[in-house]
Structure 1
Amino acid sequence: MIGVEGSVAIVTGAGQGNGRAIALGLARAGAHVAVCDINADAAAETAALAAEARVRSMSAQCDVSDLQSARAFAEKTRAELGDARILVNNAGILKRHRFGDPGFESEWDQTFRVNVDGPRNMVLAYAAQLEATSGRIVNLASIMSLSAGFGISAYIASKGAVGQLTKALAHEFAPRGVRVNAIAPGVIDTPMTEHTRGNEAAIGKFMAHTPLGRTGQPDELVGPVLFLVSDMSSYVTGTILPVDGGYLAA
């Protein structure tokens, strides 16, 4: 794929679920892939799977909420693979606390450290590399960036921030030759959504507002990401692309 093959791609939170699927999709499209996760063993497994596509791959443990950890990972990937051209900010967490519940404040702070400070830290760490390669950034937003729900206000607020961060960075980086976009997944079959999918009332509510009438698979995020990091989207920046079975259109 034009603009992907031979590029160095970075994927955070790639030890499982959406991050792993995206990393493997990039590898199959010909990108050399560097993956990180808070779980080093899971990241290493993803890197090994990526190598089966006959591209170079590497992995490391990285805490995206810590700027020094992000910078250390950026230095490591540059030394082993070269300057990054693609950055996919996938790492994220979801805490189920109602507003004001005991422990809510600490869960709020942790959620923002990972979901908002994480992408910020990774962009800071990779900015020079991405400018040197006319790079592309894709952030993982959510349908909750553009809607709302009950009992996950920290997650909703953080993903709203990711959406606005995407637009702000698109303005900041356009003069530097870097495009910045996001995808907004709906309910995808990953460990993060297991609670929702296991709750008949909750998943029923989602499906009632999802025209395609089903949950998504992690592999179904690959095509949208490939579009946004390839030259096929050369005139696209600052957009949030829903990948949600039509949920936001209902």
Structure 2
Amino acid sequence: MINTNLFSLKNKVIVVTGGTGILGNVFVKSIAEAGGIVGILGRNTAIAKVRANAILNAGGEAIALTADVTKKLELEKACELILNRYGRIDGLVNAAGGNMPEAIVQPSEDIFNLNLDGLKDVMNLNLWGTVLPTQVFGKVLAKSESASIVNISSMASQRAITKILGYGMSKAAIDNYTKWFALELANRYHDKIRINAIAPGFFLTEQNRTLLTNTDGSTTERGAKVMNQTPYKRFGIPDELAGTLIWLLSDASKFVNGTVVNVDGGFMINSGV
């Protein structure tokens, strides 16, 4: 029989960067529902506090943390705050990230005259915005008896998707970083701390909604192409990421390390034939 307690996050202290975002909200809620103590980290203090209060009012435990994931000093202050409150950290979800207009390459643009600054900015947000929190919070996680780090990858890390060059490069780098760091963690800490990643398929968020759907709810040309490539013939619902996240954070996945888990409705495996 399956020991369902393996999937419990009861009393585990877990920090979620990007906890004020759309997917971050799902992650925060699901961790709290699984019994975890949530550190909701983001740049928007007001939203972080609202979400923390909602969890507290529901009988859970949460704390709002204000920090930019690309600024080490702010992350260190957030780490100190949560340690002063709870004394430990058992998990980290690196959910902060996204794309920027400056890093999008339109079909009409000269690909030998790319906006390098825009590409660097997206790389900084997604890659270094994952590496830096891991550096800061990881020192504490390594002291836990069973700690887990979950990064957020993308379909763009494994397939060439038009326009989003900077985003794709940064997510591909996260995949490589996840695997490299998993090996080094295992060599040093054995099974006490692990790192994996989730690669979401196409989920409707505020960031990509206008790219994939029209105001009347119908799909755009780009959205239709995504739908055609996805065997489920629909976009993902953010709540459908929760199960994989809880599994990777819980002791149910204790022997899983350096893995990128696709949650994509079959997008990646579809050859189109």
The TM-score, its normalising length taken from structure 1, stands at 0.95
2:80 to 52, 75, 81: 75
One-letter amino acid matched to 1:196: L
Structure 2: how far apart are the matches of 1:119 and 1:16? Answer: 15
SS at match of 1:63: coil
2:54 maps to which residue?
49
How far apart are residue 73 of structure 1 and its match? 1.2
What aligned pairs does 1:38-117 form with structure 2 within 5 A after superposition? 38-96=43-101, 97-98=104-105, 100=111, 104-117=115-128
Aligned partner of 2:159 in structure 1 is 147
Comparing 154-163 and 142-151, the one that deviates more: 142-151
Tell me what 1:120 maps to: 131
Distance 2:85 2:114 in 1: 41
Q: Offset of 1:100 from its aligned partner? A: 4.8
Cα deviation code 1:153-193 (max 9, x no counterpart): 00000000111111111011123121100000011121122
Q: For 1:33-55, what per-residue CA distance to the aligned partner results, in whole angstroms no more than 9, with x for missing partners?
A: 00111211122222122224422
Distance in 2 of aligned mates of 1:132 and 1:241: 26
Residue aligning to 2:173: 161
The offset of 1:101, in angstroms, is: 8.6
Q: Which amino acid aligns with 2:210?
A: H
Q: Secondary structure at the match of 2:139?
A: helix
**In structure 1, how many angstroms separate the alpha carbons of the residues matched to 2:196 and 2:170?**
16
Which residue identity lines up with residue 256 of structure 2 in the other structure? V
Unaligned runs of 5+ residues in structure 2 are: 214-218
Q: CA RMSD in A?
A: 1.7
In structure 2, do the counterparts of structure 1 residues 23 and 102 end up closer, same or farther at CA, with 3 Å as the change threshold? farther
DSSP-derived class of the 1:187 partner: coil
Matches within 5 A, 1:122-141: 122-133=133-144, 134-141=146-153
Aligned amino acid, residue 68 of structure 1:
L
Identity of aligned residues (%): 29
Moved over 4 A (4+): 99-103
Write the distance in 1 (CA, Å) between the matches of 2:17 and 2:210. Answer: 23
2:196 maps to what in 1?
181
TM-score, normalised on structure 2? 0.87
Query: 1 CA distance for matches of 2:220 and 2:139?
Result: 47
How far apart are the structure 2 equivalents of 1:195 and 1:234? 39
Count of residue pairs brought into register by the alignment: 250
Give the structure with higher Rg (CA).
2
